[in-house]
Structure 1
Amino acid sequence: MTGSEVNVSFPDASIDYRRHPECYRIGHGERGVFHVQPYKDELLPLWAIRNEADARQAIEDLSARYRAYREQDDFVGMDMARKYLQMGYTRARRYARYPGGRKKDADGSLRQPGNADPEKARIAERYQVALDAVRSDDAYLRAKRDYQRRRKADRRR
């Protein structure tokens, strides 16, 4: 199966993206975090923003998993670990800015952002540091470029 032979929408939870990395799409933001298997099953249990202690452990575990994927030359795993770090940042920021993490009131009107939860703001900062480390990692940047070149070459065939 090659990327050009597969015409499925991304993400498709029925695909094993480790066996078929050509089906993976980098996409924007956190797309695929709950569907890209087997990475979802490996990374989601590690992810947390409940409190600073849990978040600190989650960041350590996700970063360790990222390094393991990097050692295995598994770009999809590296990118998915990046997405879980990004999700930690974005979710913690939302809770830091909006009471209960809700951007809208019960009547549907938008709430004004504020400083709702200082602990979540600190958690977001921790996730941001780990996310920035991945985004600037030479091995990640090189693997991403290589992956994009292969995808482009596969589409031309």
Structure 2
Amino acid sequence: MFNEKEYFKKWDPSVDYRKNPHLYNIGKGQQGVLICEPYKSEICQHWRFKTPHEASISASKIYTLFQSYLKEHDFVGADMAKKYLHMGFTRARRYANHRDGKKYDEDGNVLPQEHDAMTCDKARSAEIFKEYWRIARENPLYLKLKRKHKARLAQLVEQRFCKP
């Protein structure tokens, strides 16, 4: 069950994560993607998946931002851009599977997939985002910065809680 209070302990909309990268929690999947500023404002404006054409432009622009963040060794920005690519894939898939975006009926049962769920425009949009997301998450510099970020956070926790 979603716990809003716990969620906002991990990602605080009032924090500038560019100035305070040590406060950034990587989380799982797309967690924090609609909260972490200034990245949300920089990336979200480019996020579109309605048609394959829009998805192609969007994914390319977001991947360019990803590369720019990496060039600056800005792990948080790169991670956020990667999450938007991931979210483009998952949201486009959701609408490919269920035109109205609703996966469950009022009783909580999964609704049947659309007959063209694997071939419609949203399915093609999803594939575009999926490929950019794969390239981003496998990027060697991204993976190196991710390891460094995790190590830095572990060191901060150790300093805070393991003082003699």
Q: CA RMSD in A?
A: 1.4
1:139 aligns with: 141
Choose which of 116, 123, 126 in structure 2 pairs with 1:124: 126
C-alpha distance in structure 2 between counterparts of 1:46 and 1:115, whole Å: 30
Other structure's SS at 2:10 match:
coil
1:55 aligns with: 55
Farther-moved stretch of structure 1 (131-140 vs 106-115): 106-115
C-alpha distance in structure 1 between counterparts of 2:81 and 2:108, whole Å: 33
- The one-character-per-residue Cα deviations of 1:76-127 (angstroms, maximum 9, x if unpaired) are 0000000000000000111111122210235654302344551111111111
1:151 aligns with: 153
Query: What is the one-letter code of the residue matched to 2:132?
Result: A
Instruction: Provide the TM-score with structure 1 as the length reference.
Output: 0.90
User: Where do residues 37-116 of structure 1 align in structure 2 (5 Å cutoff)?
Assistant: 37-105=37-105, 108-116=108-116
C-alpha distance in structure 2 between counterparts of 1:129 and 1:98, whole Å: 22
Instruction: Provide the TM-score with structure 2 as the length reference.
Output: 0.86
1:5 aligns with: none
Query: What is the one-letter code of the residue matched to 2:112?
Result: Q
How many residues were matched structurally? 150
**Taking structure 1 as reference, are residues 123 and 129 closer, same or farther at Cα in structure 2, changes over 3 Å only?**
same
Identity of aligned residues (%): 36
Query: Which ranges in structure 2 are unaligned for 5 or more consecutive residues?
Result: 1-7, 160-164
C-alpha distance in structure 2 between counterparts of 1:107 and 1:137, whole Å: 42
